[in-house]
């Protein structure tokens, strides 16, 4: 192995701890903690869209980072310079809520991290490949596996630690500690500066190579693969958002009934993915790939195709688990662990293989750029996730003590809405209150929400009230509102939530809410086991298991369409110091 490899690997492990630790806390922070710091807590769909947009930005900026590295500054200088920008981003996140302007701190932090990642992500993986020539090119598959191994070592540690820090010590420490690790990552990389094989920036020859027929053909051939793999990331990256919210509604107790019984946090389940990577990489390399290789030639594209097909199974398991939640059950989180096992197997066959494949398919002066093009598949996938979650959000009607003219737009008419004393005054308010009283009485008697609520009356506009059972800790009663259409901003409803689902006493969030007088913000009777919230609009058009089945079908169609692409693709391999080899 080249002497510079240990410095690259240690840098990557620390940087991935930093990134995945911050990302592990982000969705939960936006949904539950953001309001305490001065912002507004987000719905699950909105938090998912924010996480997806951020992740997409992190994987779009590498296109610019690769251009800077290959054309002007070289990979080493680009990595070092933008690593400092990356550290400043973590610093901004750690200071959220200090001096107000929490939204500004959030956007500045995420923006700087996205810019910093643009200089690191395409260059580090290409920098690994640059350490190898034709005499040791046979070690490339091994080093890319080790490279991925280091990524997931950092990820598994941060996914376990940072959610725990967020719960007990708050967001300042949860986002600050990853910043410290990013600073260490920068230091490790600087320490190896004299050990690396430095491929200088190509300057104009690089731009000429991109514009050349060979460069254009190399990019054009891989663009369909970017789209196919993008759908894979569309599903995969929801492990840091929708999988976390699903885990909140699952039984997360392990070794129940023994002296070793413990419960994991919803966002800690993500650690199972990088842990499985550490376990499965040698199994795939030493056992599964050789066994399959005895039956048929296991080319990179065939590995990717199999991985895309396997990914369908992961979201199928998640959808089945969500169906159980929708039925009022509390499935064990082992359902998600099974989904993670399938998902991680798919990741090994898609992501790791793509890293090597895109590197070998890139002309010599375009290695970083081709890595960036591969990373843009993550941008595409998260862009799809973000757009879907934006599209399914039902807008809310912003209310205050002044009467809102309602659906007809005219003041002093029957559909006027007014927010007063934490309720919404409307023609259907009495109907909703009576339904809430029935639900509360049933809950007091059975200590759980009823799965169905019969005999609900029609609302004042002639449509029956709708009872929705979200999960064991939350139900809703909804009216279609004055427009008569379900799932619009004019839906009027009441949401009841178990108080037992609120923050544990002694956690950072509990103490922060108590210090700010926010614990009884609903104004409920303290003896009431439920909190009650009235709504105008809000919610999602794609709820429960339907959400997971939507993405399962999308992945299935993608896997089928990939087959003819893989059959028609002709590989053309380039390594540093070698001429192109066509297979």
CATH code at position 563? 1.20.1250.20
Q: Judge if 423 and 566 occupy the same domain.
A: no
In-domain check, residue 576:
yes
In-domain check, residue 405:
no
Please compute the mean of the pLDDT values over residues 446-451 and round it to a whole number: 90
Q: Judge if 442 and 548 occupy the same domain.
A: no
Question: How far is 559 from 549, CA to CA, in rounded Å?
Answer: 15
In-domain check, residue 277:
yes
Residue 484 sits in a domain of what CATH number? 3.30.700
Question: What percent of the chain is predicted at pLDDT more than 90?
Answer: 50
In-domain check, residue 404:
no
Please compute the mean of the pLDDT values over residues 1-28 and round it to a whole number: 84
In-domain check, residue 200:
yes
The domain total for the chain is 2
- pLDDT confidence of residue 583: 41
Q: Judge if 54 and 107 occupy the same domain.
A: yes
In-domain check, residue 413:
no
Q: Judge if 517 and 552 occupy the same domain.
A: no
**Domain encompassing residue 65:** 5-393+544-582
For 192, residues 6+ apart whose C-beta sits below 8 A from its C-beta are 4, 6, 7, 8, 11
Q: Judge if 287 and 333 occupy the same domain.
A: yes
Which secondary-structure segment (H or E) carries 468?
Answer: strand 466-471
- pLDDT confidence of residue 438: 94
Mean pLDDT of the chain: 87
Question: How far is 331 from 15, CA to CA, in rounded Å?
Answer: 35
Q: Judge if 270 and 373 occupy the same domain.
A: yes
In-domain check, residue 68:
yes
Among the ranges given (253-267, 335-349, 388-402), the one the predictor scored with the smallest mean pLDDT: 388-402
Most confident listed range (8-22, 147-161, 256-270):
256-270
Which secondary-structure segment (H or E) carries 168?
Answer: helix 140-169
Q: Among 493, 494, 485, 495, which residue's Cα sits nearest to residue 407?
A: 485
Q: Among 519, 249, 239, 232, which residue's Cα sits nearest to residue 380?
A: 232
Q: Judge if 231 and 317 occupy the same domain.
A: yes
- pLDDT confidence of residue 582: 47
Among the ranges given (127-141, 158-172, 548-562), the one the predictor scored with the smallest mean pLDDT: 127-141
C-beta of residue 48 within 8 angstroms of C-beta of residue 55: no
Among the ranges given (105-109, 218-222, 243-247, 300-304), the one the predictor scored with the smallest mean pLDDT: 218-222
The two beta strands, 262-263 and 253-254, are antiparallel
Q: Judge if 527 and 571 occupy the same domain.
A: no
Q: What is the pTM of this model?
A: 0.87
In-domain check, residue 443:
yes
Q: Judge if 314 and 257 occupy the same domain.
A: yes
Question: How far is 16 from 82, CA to CA, in rounded Å?
Answer: 15
Q: Judge if 477 and 564 occupy the same domain.
A: no
Instruction: Kindly indicate the confidence band of residue 580, based on its pLDDT and cuts at 50, 70 and 90.
Output: very low
Sign of the alpha-carbon torsion through 384, 387, 391, 393: positive
Sign of the alpha-carbon torsion through 346, 351, 352, 358: positive
Q: Among 549, 546, 545, which residue's Cα sits nearest to residue 312?
A: 549
Q: Judge if 160 and 197 occupy the same domain.
A: yes
Q: Judge if 274 and 223 occupy the same domain.
A: yes
For 466, residues 6+ apart whose C-beta sits below 8 A from its C-beta are 456, 477, 478, 479, 480, 486
Please compute the mean of the pLDDT values over residues 334-349 and round it to a whole number: 96
């Amino acid at each position: 192995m080249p002497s510079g490899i240990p410095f690259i690997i240690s840098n990557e492990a620390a940087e991935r701890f930093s990134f995945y630790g911050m990302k592990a806390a982000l969705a939960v922070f936006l949904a539950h903690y953001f309001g305490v710091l001065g912002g507004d807590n987000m719905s699950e769909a909105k938090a998912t869209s924010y996480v997806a947009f951020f992740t997409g930005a992190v994987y779009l900026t590498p296109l610019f980072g690769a251009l800077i590295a290959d054309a002007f500054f070289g990979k080493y200088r680009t990595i070092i310079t933008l690593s400092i920008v990356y550290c400043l981003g973590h610093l901004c996140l750690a200071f959220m809520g200090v001096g107000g302007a929490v939204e500004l701190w959030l956007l500045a932090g995420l923006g700087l991290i996205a810019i910093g990642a643009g200089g690191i992500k395409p260059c580090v993986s290409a920098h690994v490949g640059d350490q190898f020539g034709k005499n040791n090119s046979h070690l490339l598959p091994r080093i890319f596996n080790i490279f991925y191994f280091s990524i997931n070592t950092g990820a598994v540690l941060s996914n376990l630690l940072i959610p725990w820090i967020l719960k007990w010590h708050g967001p300042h420490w949860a986002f600050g500690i990853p910043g410290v690790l990013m600073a260490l990552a920068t230091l490790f990389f600087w320490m190896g500066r004299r050990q690396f094989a430095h491929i200088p920036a190509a300057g104009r020859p690089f731009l000429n190579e991109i514009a050349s027929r060979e460069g254009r053909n190399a990019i054009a051939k891989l663009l369909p693969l970017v789209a196919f793999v993008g759908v894979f990331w569309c599903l995969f990256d929801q492990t840091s958002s929708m999988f976390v919210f699903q885990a909140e509604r699952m039984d997360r107790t392990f070794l129940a009934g023994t002296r070793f019984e413990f419960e994991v946090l919803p966002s800690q389940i993500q650690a199972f993915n990088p842990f499985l990577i550490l376990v499965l990489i040698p199994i795939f390399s030493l056992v599964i790939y050789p066994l399959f290789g005895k039956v048929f030639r296991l080319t990179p594209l065939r590995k990717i195709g199999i991985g895309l097909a396997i990914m369908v199974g992961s979201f199928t398991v998640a959808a089945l688990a969500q169906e159980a939640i929708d039925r009022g059950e509390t499935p064990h989180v082992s359902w998600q662990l099974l989904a993670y096992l399938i998902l991680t197997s798919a990741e090994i066959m898609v992501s790791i293989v793509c890293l090597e494949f895109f590197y070998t398919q890139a002309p010599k002066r375009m290695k970083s750029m081709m890595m960036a093009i591969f990373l843009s598949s993550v941008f595409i996938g998260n862009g799809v996730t973000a757009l879907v979650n934006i599209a399914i959000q039902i807008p809310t009607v912003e209310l205050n003590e002044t009467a809102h003219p309602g659906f007809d737009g005219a003041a002093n008419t029957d559909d006027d809405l007014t927010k007063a004393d934490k309720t919404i005054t409307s023609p259907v308010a009495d109907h909703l209150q009576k339904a809430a009283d029935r639900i509360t009485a049933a809950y007091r008697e059975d200590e759980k929400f009823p799965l169905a609520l019969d005999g609900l009356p029609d609302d004042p506009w002639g449509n029956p009230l709708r009872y929705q059972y979200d999960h064991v800790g939350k139900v809703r009663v909804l009216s279609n509102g004055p427009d008569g259409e379900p799932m619009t901003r004019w839906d009027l409803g009441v949401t009841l939530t178990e108080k037992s689902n609120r923050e544990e006493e002694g956690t950072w969030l509990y103490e922060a809410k108590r210090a700010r007088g926010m614990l009884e913000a609903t104004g409920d009777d303290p003896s009431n086991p439920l909190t009650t919230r009235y709504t105008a609009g809000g919610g999602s058009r794609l709820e429960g298991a339907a959400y997971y089945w939507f993405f399962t079908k999308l992945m299935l169609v993608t896997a089928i369409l990939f087959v003819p692409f893989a059959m028609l693709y002709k590989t053309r391999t380039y390594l540093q110091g070698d001429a192109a080899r066509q297979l």
